[in-house]
Amino acid sequence: MSDEKRRTQIEDVDRSLYDFTKSEEGYERYADGLTPDIVRAISGKKDEPQWMLDMRLKALEVFHKKEMAGNWGPSIAGLDMDHISTYVSPKTKQARDWDDVPKDIKDTFERLGIPQAERESLAGVGAQYDSEIVYHNMREEVAKYGVVYTTIEDALHDPKWEPVVHEYFGTLIPMTDHKFAALHYAVWSGGSFVYVPAGVTVEYPLQSYFRLNAQGAGQFEHTLIIVEPGADLHFIEGCSAPKYYEANLHAGAVELFVKDGARLRYSTIENWSKNMYNLNTKRAKVASDAKMEWVSGSFGSHVSYLYPTTVLQGDRSSCEFTGITFAGATQDLDTGCKVILNGADTTASVETKSISKDGGVNTFRSSVVIGRHADNARASVSCQSLMLDNISRSDTIPAMDVRNPTASVGHEATIGRISDDTILYLMSRGCSEAEARTMVVNGFANPVSKELPLEYAVEMNNLIKLEMEGAIG
């Protein structure tokens, strides 16, 4: 083996924490494919209001009629909807006491650290297993301020909140947005509904964790968050799945409404398996003097199309997007973000990092749109890419659409490799080559990890360490 290959070869991630599976014996699993009968069965199981069933059936029509997007992104030819089950559920009711969760499901989330995280740092937790929420709980001291954190299904059965869901659901991400948005609205299941009253600051984060255990299945959760004027919330989303040798699909949707003077931080740590097609859609609408913050760490999936979108509708509203993507062997991750600045004196800041190894492909796409009435809008985009060998790939594709002459927009991108001089220096200070490379990558990722709560920063750093583990040299 050549010296060059010794310096750059890094073994694949040890995913033993995530790749364990549980038997589906006794589970309810709908037939593969997508038909009106399947859509009606999902809606009937949830005893939904008529308007939701009507929306599902309309979305199904849109899905069948809408063409796939052009060949501008990674291929999804390996995803065959005729061999994807859109609904798989363990036969258990949602629990509010951890002791009431079935043992095999509880074991899964125990291994992923969810109960410990709840006890130590979270105001509330929702845990979804395949197509259904199996556990949901929130601290009483948070609920007493009027904060609502529940499932969409439960909100639809509450006379107070069903009209609110009806008012907001599907308005920020229309079913006509793209083919997989239509698919989502046809078969969505699970997810979260969050309402934070005006002026309330939620001191600890809320978290939803999504675990897809079933083979050859899809997960289609819907998250709807409304942060009223002057309120403040941090919401964390975690995802994982074991590896199978056939395609799995994730096509969730996230709709975020941030009212006047409010602040919302939405953090994601994704560690899907490398047979997953991650076709998620996320969008936020931000009112005057409000702030939207995204923190995103993406470490899994075979193919990703993920571009969180922020609409800065109100004057003096702002957005910060901080993200990192890690692509290894067999991974083609097409990620980025879009910001639409419509209000006057709006500001947007985008800072992303990508790491590629073992032939992994990272593509970063940014879109900044400055509206005609966005006087004095300011936007900056920074993208840095690190390639750990000479067989990986990284591309940056920015788009700027500026329709107001008073706006200021900037973009910078850098692509590079780890310096041999840096590795030699660290080795001279007592590090092994593997340790040196991991230190460099951790330093590269630090702007993202420092934005996460301590427990999740540790998780992200551990994922990086696993990805880097086993360097030869």
Q: How far is CA 249 from CA 14, 174, 274, 367, in A?
A: 22, 20, 11, 25
Read off the pLDDT of residues 413-462 as tens digits, 9 standing for 90 and up: 887 777 777 778 777 878 877 777 777 777 777 777 777 665 566 666 66
Predicted pLDDT of residue 467: 64
Cα 96 to Cα 75: distance, rounded to the nearest angstrom = 41
Question: Is residue 8 pLDDT above 70, yes or no?
Answer: no
Residue 297 has pLDDT above 90, yes or no: no
Q: What's the confidence (pLDDT) of residue 14?
A: 44
Instruction: Give dist(CA 315, CA 53) in Å, integer.
Output: 37
194 pLDDT more than 80: yes
pLDDT tens digits, 122-167: 666 666 666 666 666 777 778 899 999 998 999 999 999 999 999 9
Regarding beta strands 263-271 and 309-312, do their DSSP bridges make them parallel or antiparallel, or are they unpaired? unpaired
Decide if 379 contacts 410 (C-beta within 8 A): yes
What's the average model confidence in pLDDT over 17-32?
A: 57
The pLDDT of residue 183: 96
In terms of pLDDT, which residue wins out, 34 or 54? 54
Q: What is the pLDDT of residue 13?
A: 40
- The pLDDT confidence band at residue 375, using thresholds 50, 70 and 90, is very high
8-state DSSP, 288:
T
- Which residues, other chains included, contact 236 with Cβ-Cβ below 8 Å and sequence gap of 6+? 122, 205, 206, 207, 208, 267, 268, 269, 453, 456
Residues listed for the chain = 473
Could you give the CA distance from residue 229 to residue 383 in angstroms, rounded to a whole number? Answer: 32
pLDDT beyond 80 at 233: yes
Q: What is the largest distance, in Å, between two alpha-carbon atoms of the chain?
A: 69
- For residues 86 and 284, the model is more confident at 284
C-alpha 156/C-alpha 168 separation (Å) is 12
Predicted confidence at residue 22, as pLDDT, reads 47
Is the predicted pLDDT of residue 105 greater than 70, yes or no? no
Give 244-281 pLDDT, tens digit per residue.
557 889 899 999 999 999 999 999 888 777 888 999 99
Stretch (H or E) spanning 409: strand 408-417
